[in-house]
Amino acid sequence: MKCSELSRLEKLEGLKIVAGEKGLGREIRWIYFADTLESVQSICSPENWIDGNELYVLTHSGILNDVDTVVQLMRSANDAKAAGFVIDEAYIKPEYRECADRLGMPLFELPHSIRSIDLSQIVCTAIIEEKNAETSIEKLFIQLLHSEELNEETAVGSADVYGIRLDQEFRIALFETVDFDGFLKRRGISDRSRITQVMKQYLRKVRESFESACGQKIMAVTENNSIIVLLPTKELSADRITGIIHRFKTENVLYSDISFNVSLGCEYSSVGSIRRSYSEARRIRRLTKIIGNDDGVLFFDDAGLYMLIFSSDNTDYMRSYMRKMLGKLMDYDSGSNTELTKTLETYIECNGSGTDTAEKLFIHRNTMHYRLEKIEQLTGYDLNSYETLSNLVMAFKIKKYFEQ
């Protein structure tokens, strides 16, 4: 449930947003009554008491009249990713409004006509119902991804109950975490429930990004530290999907040290083809770093020749080809502490421009020309040959593939 939905709940019509409107899209996971002694004493470390996305409720006059304490509590709660604040209408102060606006954290005014116990019961019931619906949708989606025997008509009807259309064209998008184990180690996260919570936070962000763009509910689920999304392609063209993913990566950063590569299957119109699109997305997921765009996004349709090569099970041949094309340079670099392999790769990335290569490597143009001559001398390659450069491009792609 989002903060924007609070006042639309039955019997909560009197709950009014008074500041922090920019944060109305924040998710509410549960309610936390912050009038207790431990919450005041732990202002600087609210993570000891909340997990994130809680809606703080403050009604105690002894706390609410202490402006400095409440402002500090709001700041620390925001740092701990709280959803927002609900404060008794008699104690809404200008300082609280200013703080909420500055943080972009919703601040609601609780009228005396709504009892705290009723607020808790109504909101928690709505959250539970929403979670039950999400669980049912995720179970159906998992069946669509993995089951060969699911009845198409039944699946369409089941999805329709939750406002999701399956009678349209779609494709699968697979968001795969990059070095997720490293992220967990850096953050000191080992508890399975905490890991699940992190992935769920990102799942909601991904889902919201696409739902707001296409104007309809979509299916999404986490699996093996990845996020799988079913995208309607009539509203979401390939270019639009790429743009949404770029904005998601740059604007919805929950943690600065976690990132995703995104692989997408082909577009299909039958429910039975969801598994095929998912299979395609999985097959190219290791290629996103190699031939994906700057955001690590790759469509199966664009994999082309690379898909034929990298889908091969004959990795020995791939390694042999790489060594044949690059082995002499790699061995020379290893024994002489030089960077000829990197120089050649950069030269190819710069479309054979010695000037651009020198600038990118921060070396003098004379040094650049010397290195190119040395490369041709060691390998016997003619770097003006289109065929040679094409073979080298493939060799470097294979090198990146094995370095992952």
| Domain 3-114 CATH assignment equals 3.40.1390.20 | yes
pLDDT at position 25 is 86
Q: Give pLDDT tens digits for 177-215.
A: 988 999 999 989 898 888 998 898 899 889 989 999 999
pLDDT at position 303 is 85
108, β-bridge pairs: 17, 86
Q: Smallest Cα–Cα separation from 211: which of 158, 263, 248?
A: 248
CA distance 82 to 79: 7
| Residue of higher predicted confidence among 285 and 379 | 379
Q: What are the extents of the domains in the chain?
A: 3-114, 128-310, 315-403
- The percent of residues above 90 in pLDDT, for the chain, comes to 66
| Domain 315-403 CATH assignment equals 1.10.10.2840 | yes
* DSSP category for residue 90: G
Is residue 395 predicted with pLDDT exceeding 70? yes
Q: How long is the chain? A: 404
Residues 6+ apart with CB under 8 A from 241: 173, 231, 264
Provide the pLDDT confidence category of residue 254 given band limits of 50, 70 and 90. Answer: confident
- The percent of residues above 70 in pLDDT, for the chain, comes to 95
Beta strands 170-178 and 219-223: pairing type? Answer: unpaired
For the CA atoms of 252, 253, 254, 258, the dihedral, rounded to the nearest 10 degrees, stands at: 130
CA distance 318 to 394: 10
Q: Give pLDDT tens digits for 139-159.
A: 999 999 999 888 889 999 999
pLDDT at position 258 is 85
Q: Give pLDDT tens digits for 337-393.
A: 999 999 999 999 999 999 999 999 999 999 999 999 999 999 999 999 999 999 999
Q: Give pLDDT tens digits for 72-106.
A: 999 999 988 899 999 999 999 999 999 999 999 99
pLDDT at position 241 is 96
Tell me the angle at which helices 354-361 and 365-379 cross, rounded to the nearest 10 degrees. 110
Is residue 292 predicted with pLDDT exceeding 90? no
Is residue 310 predicted with pLDDT exceeding 80? no
pLDDT at position 290 is 78
Cβ atoms of 309 and 394 within 8 Å: the answer is yes
Provide the pLDDT confidence category of residue 36 given band limits of 50, 70 and 90. Answer: low
Provide the pLDDT confidence category of residue 52 given band limits of 50, 70 and 90. Answer: confident
Q: Give pLDDT tens digits for 99-119.
A: 999 999 999 999 999 999 999
Q: What is the DSSP string of 319-344?
A: HHHHHHHHHHHHHHHHHHT--HHHHH
Is residue 281 predicted with pLDDT exceeding 90? yes
Provide the pLDDT confidence category of residue 47 given band limits of 50, 70 and 90. Answer: low
Beta strands 30-33 and 54-58: pairing type? Answer: parallel
Is residue 251 predicted with pLDDT exceeding 80? no
If you classify domain 128-310 with CATH, what class do you get? alpha beta
pLDDT at position 197 is 85
Q: What is the pTM of this model?
A: 0.70
pLDDT at position 304 is 76
pLDDT at position 98 is 97
Residues 6+ apart with CB under 8 A from 363: 371
pLDDT at position 143 is 94
